[in-house]
Amino acid sequence: MIIYNVTSNIDESIHQKWLAWVKEHIPQVLATGHFTEAKLTRVLVKEDMGGVTYSIQYRAKSREALEAYYKNNADILRQDVLKHFGDQVLSFRTELEIVDEYFVK
């Protein structure tokens, strides 16, 4: 299983506007059919650069599903962020492979 993680630092002046927007954006990403779930989390470490930082973790169905997302959907959805917020949102993306999972019973 693959996690596609998008970490974004948002300028405080647009924080609430971005938060409302991203809550509509995440279902659009899920609607591509390449992911099974998403988690929106706030990063609790204070950044030297300021702003507010969030991480969105999308669980991909497979490596092939993630590659299909990159090929067919990623550019359009990334452009939407730029169109709305320009350089007031700085993002980086990380791919994570789940090695094992543990749950409390």
**pTM greater than the 0.85 cutoff:** yes
Question: Roughly how many angstroms between the first and final C-alpha of the chain, as a whole number?
Answer: 22
Number of neighbouring beta carbons within 10 Å of residue 89: 20
Would you say residue 50 has pLDDT above 80? yes
Q: Residue 83 and residue 61: Cα distance in Å, rounded?
A: 28
Q: Which CATH class is domain 2-97?
A: alpha beta
Provide the pLDDT for residue 46.
80
Provide the pLDDT for residue 24.
96
Would you say residue 89 has pLDDT above 80? yes
